[in-house]
Amino acid sequence: MGEYGPEHLQWSGGVLAIPFRKYARPQISYLEKVEMDALLASPDRQTTQGTRDYATLLFLYNTGARASELAQLTVSDLQLDKSHKRNSFVTLHGKGDRTRICPLWPHTADVIESLVAGRSLRQHVFLNRSGQPMTRFGIHAVVERHAANAAHQLPSLNRKRVSPHTIRHTTATFLLRAGVDINTIRAWLGHVSLNTTNVYAQIDLEMKARALACLEQSNPSLRRRAMDSDLMQFLRSL
């Protein structure tokens, strides 16, 4: 603006100096263990659709995959070690054509192996009732349907909007609680920036509660040592 109207230099400088308004980061929703267990227990695994739905929920929980990553997954992306299931893993194709490898729990490997039995490497892993690849909208529908069903047994689910991304947040939170370092979680979820992953450290109330408990110790020397170890380590992760 100064190039075309020098008389506006002072005015435009004042406008540019106005600070941006800071907005609070929206609270991330995740499921507690009992809620995740209720969600996984919802599908009727005696039916073909229920088996597919259970595999969908379990895979999302194991990998923290996005709905779009699950929708494009093919059999060739799976590496299922039949002799040692703990060596099984999956290659996920994320945003910007970035790929990442995620380990599969032995139980997940068993469930997925049964799901794709007899399919060629080029076929998709998750299919709808017509035998066509599931879309991300279909995956959302699966999660929402079983969340509504599980809420009949666990009313706390009624207070949460459960989606595939909620399960992704749940995976990240549980990994953090299990002691997995934040950089490993970043790679697990396929985040480009560590700042994106750091939000999970801020929402984990259990870790904050443990940190605050350090302050309640009656012995000052013990309190100081606890602050130096547990609390300071926690604060550095934020």
Residues designated as active site: 66, 95, 165, 168, 191, 200
Strands (E) in the chain, as ranges, are 78-79, 89-93, 99-103
- Which candidate, 53, 62, 45, places its Cα nearest to that of 144? 53
Query: Rounded to 5 degrees, what are φ and ψ at 99?
Result: -115, 155
Comparing CA positions, the residue from 96, 104, 90, 62 lying closest to residue 193 is: 96
Tokens at 41, concatenated: 């227990």
* Residue that has been written with the tokens 């606890």 in this structure: 226
Enter the tokens of residue 5.
Answer: 């109207």
Q: How is residue 14 written in tokens?
A: 């004042």
Are 73 and 126 within 8 A, CB to CB? yes
Describe the strand order of the beta sheet including 99-103 as a list of residue ranges. Answer: 78-79, 89-93, 99-103
